[in-house]
Amino acid sequence: MRFFILLISLLIITCIFYLYELFPLKYIDLIPNSSFDKLLILSIIKVESSFKTNAISNVGAYGLMQVLPSTAEWINNKFNTNYNLKVPKDNILLGITYLEYLYNITKDLQKTISYYNTGPNASDEIVKTAGLNYYNKIMKAYSLYKFLYRSDNYEISNK
């Protein structure tokens, strides 16, 4: 019986250690305070790029937050910024700026995250399928981050 308890304990510890490896706090120091919980931003980075700074998607999205070059250009023009898509901190700032823009027009976290993946002009069908699947992936990662790091923050702050 002791051996069984020891074995189960070892298995649980190993699983928790593995979860910390899969869901690190990598780049958290590059995430500024914003309207969004830093763990939610890390969840997006985890799903989008698995923390690979030079990740490029099959549609040409780049970096940690997988921002399209056209979206980066639009953000820089609209908000009078000069973020460089290929610099990790700037890539994160581009992603957060875009998320805040989307949230300001939707006032809904699920739509904001869905639109981050599909674009705000996607058809309702694409938003319902691909957008919802993406939102669910983000929320699963976010739940694990909150479990591991005991965040008491909300997805959207009360600022």
pLDDT tens readout for residues 92-120:
999 999 999 999 999 999 999 999 999 99
- State residue 151's pLDDT score: 59
Q: Is the pLDDT of residue 159 over 50?
A: no
Tokens of 140: 């699963």
Tokens of 148: 């591991």
Taking CA atoms, 118 is separated from 76, 123, 125, 132, in Å, by 20, 9, 11, 10
- State residue 152's pLDDT score: 55
pLDDT digit string, tens, across residues 53-70: 999 999 999 999 999 999
Residue at token pair 């304990």: 9
> How far is residue 45's CA from residue 41's CA, in Å, rounded to a whole number?
6
Active-site choice (48, 100, 125, 155): 48
Q: How many helices, marked H, and strands, marked E, lie in the chain?
A: 7, 0
125 is catalytic: no
Q: Which helix (H) or strand (E) holds 43?
A: helix 38-49
**Which domains can be identified in the chain, with CATH numbers?**
26-150 (1.10.530.10)
